[in-house]
């Protein structure tokens, strides 16, 4: 009985597509340039416009990685459609999340403005009072300290706090 899994059918390549090295370096350069652009714009475009631009740049970077480093450009078109469906799903997800955030944002803005004004315009000072109230209520522990007093990342300390209650 022969095992056909090790034999290649005619017309099928034995190795995947090999991209030329200059092309890979050009894509790498584009990814680095887009990363630098994202970092340069990070503090200059706050709010929804900054988020949209950052997500657009991230989408272009993901597309470049999928097309050239994952060889999607040279694969069957169906795989490209699956990739596009994933990108569209993420876009719809972020769109609905943004709509929800925008709905409640006008209720939050006056509260944040009052707190920021009372704190002298410093965001760090704005959160100092709630931080002290938390520490007083929890025997001086910081928000990122476990029950045993060990420093933990924020996500782990929230899980530990939820499990303790």
For the chain, the residue count is 165
Query: The domain containing residue 144 runs over which residues?
Result: 127-165
Residue 23: what pLDDT? 92
Q: 151 in a domain, yes or no?
A: yes
Q: 112 in a domain, yes or no?
A: no
Name residues of the chain where pLDDT drops below 70. Answer: 1-17, 106, 115-116, 118-119, 121-127, 140-165
Residue 136: what pLDDT? 81
For residue 50, give every residue at least 6 positions away whose Cβ sits within 8 Å of its Cβ, in sequence order, or none.
Answer: 41, 42, 44
Q: 146 in a domain, yes or no?
A: yes
Q: 135 in a domain, yes or no?
A: yes
Q: 134 in a domain, yes or no?
A: yes
Rounded CA separation 164/144 (Å): 14
What total of structural domains would you count in the chain?
1
Are 35 and 60 a contacting pair, CB within 8 Å? Answer: no
Rounded CA separation 27/60 (Å): 11
Structure-block tokens of residue 15? 């190795």
pTM equals: 0.54
Chain centroid to Cα 69, Å, comes to: 20
Q: 39 in a domain, yes or no?
A: no
Q: 106 in a domain, yes or no?
A: no
Rg from Cα positions in the chain: 25
For residue 104, give every residue at least 6 positions away whose Cβ sits within 8 Å of its Cβ, in sequence order, or none.
Answer: none
Residue 77: what pLDDT? 87
Q: 19 in a domain, yes or no?
A: no
Structure-block tokens of residue 69? 């480093």
Residue 155: what pLDDT? 47
């Amino acid at each position: 009985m022969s095992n056909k899994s090790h034999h290649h059918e005619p017309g099928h390549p034995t190795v995947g597509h090999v991209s030329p090295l200059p092309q890979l370096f050009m894509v790498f350069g584009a990814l680095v340039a887009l990363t630098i652009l994202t970092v340069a714009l990070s503090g200059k475009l706050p709010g929804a416009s900054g988020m949209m631009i950052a997500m657009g740049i991230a989408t272009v970077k993901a597309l470049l990685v999928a097309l050239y480093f994952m060889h999607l450009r040279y694969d069957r078109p169906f795989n490209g459609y699956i990739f596009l469906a994933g990108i569209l799903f993420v876009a719809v997800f972020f769109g609905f999340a943004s709509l929800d955030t925008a709905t409640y944002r006008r209720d939050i803005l006056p509260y944040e403005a009052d707190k920021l004004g009372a704190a002298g315009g410093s965001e760090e000072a704005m959160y100092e009072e709630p931080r002290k109230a938390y520490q007083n209520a929890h025997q001086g522990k910081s928000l990122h300290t476990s029950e045993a007093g060990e420093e933990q990342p924020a996500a782990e300390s929230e899980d530990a706090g939820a499990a303790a209650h």
